[in-house]
Structure 1
Amino acid sequence: MSALRKGGRARHRRANRTPVARRPAIRFGGIGDEAAPDLAGQIDALEQLGWSELELRTVDGVWIADLDHRQVKAIATTLKRHGIRVSGLASRVGNWASDITGDLTADVMELGRLSSRAEVLGTNRIRIMSYPNGTGLPEAEWRRLALERMRFFAIGAQRGNEVALHENCAGWGGSSIENTLDLMASVDNSGLRLLHDTGNGVPYGYDGFELLRRSIEHVDHVHIKDAVGGGEHTRYVLPGEGEARLAESLRLLTAHGWRGGWSLEPHLATRPHEGLAADGRTDSGFVAAGRALTALVEREVLPHSPGWRLVPGGLAWEAPLPRQAGQAARAAEAAEVASDAR
């Protein structure tokens, strides 16, 4: 075949490639038990919204770490049949029910169980927090112990090709912007990244947008919620109706060219730290919150986010990428394809 004919065929193939709007670069999903206790109800809520990404915390009221392998395999099979990928697993490590002086053995065992379940479910991301100080230790000692534990978990995650996602919620690292930045600088390990919850600044008394602005390079995953009030008077509302500067935070992410999952956690019916759980009915508010998020994105995010547009399941980036960013984007997309194939 002549060079001319080869070149002509190559140009023909390039001209007939599917344009780049394809898979979402930012994927919409949610924490399943915010919608319903059972897996069928969680899937139904996602399908009503046209989303295909699920973050697993509990199923039928049982934490993922406490389900046996047979149950986890059944969940994985069901989700694959519905075309739903798992974005991550929630642990109880360092959360509101723990204390910085507690025995670490149970947490190590839980992370071990979650590691094996994550492999079955096709994810490598596990949510942790950095321990409340219920016993009233001095701030410096609380910090020392929290960092010691976070370094330990980060090393374990890195060795297992996993990522421990620290959420700005209960615990030392989530109690202020400065502590979050201190945490990431002090641990300095790729096994530890941030899960940014857009609404948690309201109950904890700091500006969530400012936290995101200062820590965005460390953020691998996002929880979407909105709230009003503060402290014990916090009340959770539909996305866009609160004081969390949610639209500004989402615009910051799109302007940064950020990629990953926006996982809906509206807390309208389900608030584990208060012992409240959705019962699967429509008034759990999950679907309404998902629709409010989409409306907020259309109304207040996309008009200020050139190059982005809504596609089924999230947002696609269609503008040309700089060479280095394009390489990173293609690598991330290839990893997602490989994950979906498992």
Structure 2
Amino acid sequence: MSFTLDPATAIKDPNGISWGMHPISWRNDDIPEVGAWNTLEDMLLDLADTGYAGTECAGFFPPKEEVKAAADARGIRIVAQWFSSFIVRDGIDAVVPDFTATCEYLQFLGATRVVVSEQTGSVQGKRDVCIFENKPVLSDEEWPVLAEGLNRLGEIAQSHGLELVYHHHLGTVVQTKEETIRLMEATDPALVSLLFDTGHAFVGDGDVMGLLRATIERIKHVHFKDVRPEKMEESRQAQRSFLDSFLAGMFTVPGDGTIDFTEPYRFLVDHGYRDWILVEAEQDPAIANPLTYARIARNYLEDTLFAS
């Protein structure tokens, strides 16, 4: 096992993209018992061993000083962290203090992105709501409230050296391609960018490339997440929630599902994308060992994507 990231054996993208892996493969913040035995150190050791250079923050992380010391010791970059905004529900003034604190935290860790998702009315964390049939929608009057609020958060993010990247997400007010495009059109491109997630695009619209083509100029962060179509259909028929769908195996890492990542990867490269792509898959680590799946994804990247 490599105890620190070795530049000689780290993932080397021939097109200059930086590769990391999201902590949700090791532990889930929404269901604390899922992966509860995994620690920050466990995750960092697995990342170093498999050659991923970066990750994002998670709720189970210890205080920031410990996070920075541990990540630096293993040679792993902290890239970003999720922030749940309630701009429409609570008003932007109520959101600013917590968002500012998050930006200060990320700035201390040397991150470059803050991931924002509007959670007003969200059903992504409700286990008694089918993710395939129920989602909140914004009224015409609420869209400018969200857009103006995000612009303000974007200013705060930039004052801390961060890029605000908005995460389109299942079960939220910005899920579909049309909703994501509308949000990008309503926000200031100098202040609000997009996190493009293949898994959410596929499950939400049945299409990965449509959203990617429509928003390529705004994308500053990417999650590559694969989907097992038979598990997705099983969850749809069973009317499962988002959480129960992923526990049932709907998501997996690139190379283990149905998405052909060569097309989105090549499209990103051809349009000059040279930022981070994080491998991500909400899975139960008791069933899908994170180290094993990190290796599966790396093999796919090197054998298929980089050869495309």
Smaller-chain TM-score bracket: 0.7 to 0.9
Count of aligned residue pairs for this structure pair:
259
- Given residue 29 of structure 1, which amino acid in structure 2 is its aligned partner? G
User: Can you list the C-alpha shifts for 1:126-168, whole angstroms capped at 9, x where unaligned?
Assistant: 1101334469666313423322322222232234432111011
Give the corresponding residue for 2:296.
Answer: 292
Q: Per the alignment, do residues 149 and 26 of structure 1 end up closer, same or farther by CA in structure 2, a change over 3 Å counting?
A: same
> Aligned to 2:276, which of 255, 258, 261?
261
Unaligned runs of 5+ in 1: 1-20, 61-66, 270-277, 305-342
Give the corresponding residue for 2:157.
Answer: 157
Larger radius of gyration: 1
- Given residue 75 of structure 1, which amino acid in structure 2 is its aligned partner? V
Q: Does 1:83 align with 2:75?
A: yes
Q: Does 1:31 align with 2:19?
A: no
Q: Do the aligned partners of 1:196 and 1:222 also contact (CA within 8 Å) in 2? A: yes
CA displacement at 1:225 relative to structure 2? 0.9
**SS state of the match for residue 54, structure 1?**
strand
- Given residue 295 of structure 1, which amino acid in structure 2 is its aligned partner? N
- Given residue 26 of structure 1, which amino acid in structure 2 is its aligned partner? I
User: Can you list the C-alpha shifts for 1:272-326, whole angstroms capped at 9, x where unaligned?
Assistant: xxxxxx5xx6x4432233222223223432332xxxxxxxxxxxxxxxxxxxxxx
**Aligned alpha-carbon RMSD (Å):** 2.8
Per the normalisation by structure 2, the TM-score is 0.73
Give the corresponding residue for 1:74.
Answer: 66
In 1, Cα distance between equivalents of 2:184 and 2:23: 28
Give the corresponding residue for 1:209.
Answer: 209
After superposition, residues 268-307 of structure 1 pair within 5 angstroms as 268-269=283-284, 278=285, 283-304=287-308
CA displacement at 1:33 relative to structure 2? 4.1
Give the corresponding residue for 1:222.
Answer: 222
Q: Does 1:127 align with 2:115?
A: yes
Q: Do the aligned partners of 2:68 and 2:109 also contact (CA within 8 Å) in 1? A: yes
Of Structure 1 and Structure 2, which has the larger fraction of its residues in strand? Answer: 1
Q: Do the aligned partners of 2:13 and 2:306 also contact (CA within 8 Å) in 1? A: no
Q: Per the alignment, do residues 265 and 287 of structure 1 end up closer, same or farther by CA in structure 2, a change over 3 Å counting?
A: same
CA displacement at 1:40 relative to structure 2? 0.7
In 2, Cα distance between equivalents of 1:38 and 1:292: 21
CA displacement at 1:199 relative to structure 2? 0.4
> Aligned to 1:249, which of 264, 283, 294?
264
Q: Does 1:56 align with 2:57?
A: yes
In 1, Cα distance between equivalents of 2:217 and 2:294: 26
Q: Does 1:186 align with 2:177?
A: no
Unaligned runs of 5+ in 2: 1-11, 28-37, 123-134
CA displacement at 1:87 relative to structure 2? 1.0
Q: Do the aligned partners of 2:177 and 2:205 also contact (CA within 8 Å) in 1? A: no
In 2, Cα distance between equivalents of 1:261 and 1:22: 11
CA displacement at 1:217 relative to structure 2? 1.6
User: Can you list the C-alpha shifts for 1:183-239, whole angstroms capped at 9, x where unaligned?
Assistant: 222212422111111100233234222211221121111112111226556511342
Q: Do the aligned partners of 1:209 and 1:245 also contact (CA within 8 Å) in 2? A: no
CA displacement at 1:120 relative to structure 2? 1.3
In 1, Cα distance between equivalents of 2:279 and 2:191: 24
CA displacement at 1:263 relative to structure 2? 1.1
Give the corresponding residue for 1:329.
Answer: none
Q: Do the aligned partners of 2:24 and 2:282 also contact (CA within 8 Å) in 1? A: no
Q: Do the aligned partners of 1:100 and 1:133 also contact (CA within 8 Å) in 2? A: no
Give the corresponding residue for 1:337.
Answer: none
In 2, Cα distance between equivalents of 1:78 and 1:136: 39
Q: Do the aligned partners of 1:266 and 1:289 also contact (CA within 8 Å) in 2? A: no
In 2, Cα distance between equivalents of 1:207 and 1:22: 25
Of Structure 1 and Structure 2, which has the larger fraction of its residues in helix? Answer: 1
Stretch moving more, 36-45 or 193-202: 36-45
Per the normalisation by structure 1, the TM-score is 0.67
User: Can you list the C-alpha shifts for 1:27-53, whole angstroms capped at 9, x where unaligned?
Assistant: 221222422442111112202212221
**SS state of the match for residue 51, structure 1?**
coil
